[in-house]
Amino acid sequence: MRTPIVAGNWKMNKTAAEGTALVRAMMADLMAIPEVQTVFCPPFLAVPDVARLIQGSTLAIGAQDLYWEESGAFTGEVSPVMVTEFCQYVIIGHSERREYFGEKDQEVNKKVIAALAQGLTPIVCVGETLALRDEGRTETWVRDQVVAALQNVSAEETAGLVIAYEPIWAIGTGRAATPEDAEQVCGEVVRATIADLYDQATAEAIRIQYGGSVNPGNAEEIMIQPNIDGGLVGGASLQAESFAAIVRSTASAKGLI
């Protein structure tokens, strides 16, 4: 069975002091659910303090982005080597990076390869806009994003990474995809694409998250879907009680508690 994974993407929220306070408020609850891999993804300046706080626990840290070069004259960027010092995971290709900062599929692929080279586990984000969905292009769009992100990535490497399906129209809007819609894309598009690119064993090994207005009220019905292995959680990850409830619901949906 694939180990469920729930990651909290704090985005540009929480100072270092606020971040450690948030984690302290839910550490005990989350450590009581080791069946689910729980990952905090704070802003870069909060990463070291949160990492030190959870050191030695079952909890993990992820960065929200990285650059593909190991070092150099790239003002404002953070390299995979720097990320590896504190993190086990890294979010790559989030829709906000693509939309607001012009990140292209080719750059996503470079970041995936660079992260893997340093032993990081990428959480690769894919997803369509409402316009694309209304045009009936969800399947083609998401498939193309998956294919582009995994160029020159081996089957073994792919089996160990995470793909997060996040329909852009559902992020931060309160309008989540229905569990059936999320399952269809995660299974019949993302997992099926991995099977086509590699083989069925690789497709069965890779973990696929759903993200987009996941909250304690809808988490269990989403996570009970067989091809959804967890969630990439935005706003609800900024509230200790809500995030812990989502992790607990994930464990319950998978029959682990």
DSSP 225: S
Quickly list H helices, 101-255. 105-117, 130-134, 138-149, 155-160, 179-184, 192-197, 200-205, 219-223, 240-253
Predicted pLDDT at 72: 98
Dihedral (CA of 141, 145, 146, 152) sign: positive
Task: Note the pLDDT tens digit of each residue in 138-192.
Answer: 999 999 999 999 999 999 999 999 999 999 988 888 887 899 999 999 999 999 9
Residue ranges of domains in the chain: 5-253
Task: Note the pLDDT tens digit of each residue in 2-50.
Answer: 999 999 999 999 999 999 999 999 999 999 999 999 999 999 999 999 9
Place of tokens 């969800």: 138
Predicted pLDDT at 249: 98
Residues annotated as part of the active site: 94, 166
Cα of 2 vs its chain's centroid, Å: 15
Residue 51 pLDDT > 90? yes
Predicted pLDDT at 43: 98
Which pair of structure tokens corresponds to residue 145?
């994003």
> Residue 91 — φ and ψ, nearest 5°?
-80, 135
pTM of the model: 0.97
pLDDT band at 257 (very low <50, low <70, confident <90, very high): very high
Q: Does the structural domain 5-253 have CATH classification 3.30.1330.60? A: no
Average per-residue pLDDT in the chain?
A: 97
Which pair of structure tokens corresponds to residue 51?
């990492």
CA atoms within 13 A on the CB side of 12: 2
